[in-house]
Structures are given as C-alpha cells and as structure tokens.
C-alpha cells in the first residue's frame, strides 16, 4: 500500500484506523508490482508475491494472523477466482481503452488474451483487506488490484471464504460489510 509504513509479518503497524503487515505469499507471485500511488505500477519486474494485508485496528491480532494464514494457503484459488471474475470486464474495458490510446500500441497496454490466466501479467495485488465478520474457516476479505484495463479505479473482489461476494472496481475489495 502506498504511503504506509512497511513492516514484515509478524510485525504490524497500526494507525488511527487500521493494522497493516506485509507477507510473501507464493500464490500471488508473478503479478505486476503495484506499490505506486493509487495502486499504480511501481516496477517492471514481476512480484515475488509480497502483499500488504490490512484490517480494522480493533480486529484481534490473532484473528488477523489466522486469516492471513488462510489466504496464504488458498492464494492460488483466490487468484484464479479473481482473474476469472475480471475476464468479461477486461474485454469491455479493452475496447474503450484502445479507442482512447494516443501514442501507445494496444498490445503494450491491453493485449488480446486467450483466457483469464493471461490477466496475471496485466495486474497486481495492491492489498488484501480483511474484515472481522467471517470465521477462521470462511473468512471475509477482499483483494484490491491495480490493473492495466482500469487504471483510474483498479479492480477488486470481495470474498466469503472462496465464494465471491462481489467483483468489479477496487472499492469492492474494501467497501463491504
């Protein structure tokens, strides 16, 4: 997350509203690095899987850590479900982006894809937002992505366990009960 004091799990940083930590999650490796302002791409290298986790500051740290472990164990399924939920929107947004390009080549920004797994090269995790209203076996959380096809608002998915609650803009990853 941009402009947040970085720390590595199991260390946490707390501000007036949230707790934060960062952890390397192998299931999220290979995506874009999105540590820039508003989830902007901050490196041309591929991510090593380090992602930022946050929760409301009142959530018990033990619950926060339990959900982080659950997300880590299920990261590949979470990523696949997220990317699959974005595929149709990608095609719609791609056409709009191509119409607005001036100097860029469409294949450099929004290339044609053969399936949702190709989106892995076009987005990166900004943060995992953990909500306290789930259980340790079926936690509620959201994944916020920065992405080529929605540069202004990003993309997001909210989950209850491995069930998608909502998918769309980045706000869907953190603006849910």
pTM of the predicted model over 0.85? yes
Element (H, E) at 152: none
Give the closest residue to 157 by CA, choosing from 108, 115, 123.
123
What are the tens digits of pLDDT across the range 38-95?
788 888 899 999 999 999 999 999 999 999 999 999 999 999 999 999 999 999 999 9
Give the closest residue to 49 by CA, choosing from 69, 72, 29.
29
Domain range annotation of the chain: 13-173
Whole-number average pLDDT of the chain: 92
């Amino acid at each position: 997350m941009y402009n947040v004091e970085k720390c590595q799990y199991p260390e946490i940083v707390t501000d007036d509203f949230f707790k934060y930590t960062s952890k390397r999650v192998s299931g999220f490796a290979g995506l874009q690095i999105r540590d820039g302002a508003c989830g902007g791409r901050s490196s041309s290298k591929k991510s090593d899987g380090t992602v930022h986790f946050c929760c409301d500051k009142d959530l018990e740290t033990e619950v926060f850590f339990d959900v982080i472990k659950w997300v880590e164990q299920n990261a590949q399924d979470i990523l696949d479900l997220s990317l699959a939920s974005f595929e149709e929107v990608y095609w719609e947004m791609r056409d709009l982006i191509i119409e607005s390009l001036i100097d860029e080549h469409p294949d450099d920004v929004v290339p044609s894809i053969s399936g949702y797994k190709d989106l892995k090269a076009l987005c990166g995790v900004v943060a995992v937002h953990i909500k306290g209203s789930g259980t340790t076996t079926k936690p509620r959380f959201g994944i916020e992505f920065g992405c080529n096809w929605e540069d202004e608002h990003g993309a997001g998915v909210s989950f209850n366990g491995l069930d998608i609650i909502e998918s769309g803009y980045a706000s869907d990853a953190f603006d849910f009960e």
